Amino acid sequence: MLDFAMAGRIGIAAVAGLLPAGPVSAPLLADAPAGIYALSVARDNPNTPQDERLGGIRSYDFVSGFTLRVFWTDIESGQGQYDFSVIDQAIGAAAAIGRGVNLELLMGEEPQYVLNGSAATYIDHRGGTNPVPWDQFAQQRHAALYTALANHVIPGTAAAPGAHALKHDPTLKSVDASPVGLNYGVRDLNNGIRNHPDYTQQRYVDSIVKGVAASASEFSEDMNFLAFFAFHDAAPGARVDQQILQQLAPLYNHPGQTQLAMFIENFSDDGPVPLPNGAVGPGNNLLTWSGAGGYTMMQALDAWLQHAPDRDAQLDSLNPATGIELGYNTFGTRFFELYAADLDGAANGAVDASGQSIADDLRHWNTLLTTVPEPGAIIAMVLVGMVLGSRRLGCRRR
């Protein structure tokens, strides 16, 4: 029988030109996050009675879950002073309507005490101050956060009556495993990390491996995920991002191990896709991970129905199903986060650039993404993909 790892290798061979390109489906792991998830805003407005971070929860039949985004500084005001109430509320609300929760812990804003206690910091691309990823104090407090969060006792929900630890909650499907101090994922948008006087490849790689383990060791029942783009410091030898993938691959996704996905936040009509001619970028790294049997997760670049003009070219289909199709066919991705503007627009009858119902397309894809294929269907999907491979990047679904 052809397994999913083999299907992934067929996908890599296709990109390399050894086989025709075609869709390669990733395994739908037990209780893994899958389907279309509604994306929340990351900040609450203290001047309103409602918490805006919870405003994205949707019960549409083409939505499978909700992504809650929270900044570290908003859930730990001082050392060991945690407030996880917004997480409790999200879990309870999603469980009540039979939806899953994906929890994104944003590391771009660490509590002030973490910055004060860090031996070294850098300025990121947005002008914010962060500890360097290898700072020992920041790493210790990052690990303490995940321990406290995993063992936090939440009230009983519709899916799990009775108080229980968050790490055992069935509504929670996935947790952000991003290490402390990253420049919004494994990338360095302004060279702030690689130009730091204390930077070495080994320190950076080790910090990624250690930071991911802090989450994975606590949330072993859930999918962990790492925002992973591209990182290259121009030094000779293997690229830094490739070294990280090589370090992580043996530690996750094998029998008895915690599951780890690679996450990217900019899927659109046109990408991400692997770069040709030996170039390496986010798409190549995702393909490497999926080819080894790893899960991939994606967040939309922006709302197809409501975005700035400079993104028109990347979202000109006016239909997120176009980007979903690209991600599924290229990487076998089964998890996609969409903005509320697209979900609400679809529910209200919006059509895409060709007049196609967006809701119909999203309903189709949400069903497909959450369906567990029969074993024999894996071979069929690969063979059909090889026959129809020319459609993958050559035309869009309209």
| pLDDT tens per residue across all 398 residues of the chain | 223 333 333 333 333 332 233 344 455 666 789 999 999 999 999 889 999 999 999 999 999 999 999 999 999 999 999 999 999 999 999 999 999 999 999 998 999 999 999 999 999 999 999 999 999 999 999 999 999 999 999 999 999 999 999 999 999 999 999 999 999 999 999 999 999 999 999 999 999 999 999 999 999 999 999 999 999 999 999 999 999 999 999 999 999 999 999 999 999 999 999 999 878 899 999 999 999 999 999 999 999 999 999 999 999 999 999 999 999 999 999 999 999 999 999 999 999 999 999 999 999 999 999 997 655 554 444 444 444 333 333 344 44
Q: Find tokens 């979903």 and name the residue.
A: 324
Strand pairing class (172-176; 335-338): unpaired
Is 24 within 8 Å of 385 (Cβ atoms)? yes
Rounded to 5 degrees, φ, ψ at 104 are -105, 115
Cα 328 versus chain centre, distance: 14
- What domains, with CATH codes, occur in the chain? 1-25+382-398 (no CATH), 27-372 (3.20.20)
Cα 242 versus chain centre, distance: 18
C-alpha span between 344 and 27 (Å, rounded):
29
In 3D, which of 240, 231, 340 has the Cα closest to residue 282? 231
C-alpha span between 43 and 242 (Å, rounded):
33
Provide the token pair at 156: 């009983």
CA dihedral angle for residue 343, residue 94, residue 109, residue 85, rounded to 10 degrees: 150
Burial of 45 (0-12, 13-18, 19+ CB in 10 A): exposed
Burial of 349 (0-12, 13-18, 19+ CB in 10 A): exposed
C-alpha span between 32 and 394 (Å, rounded):
31
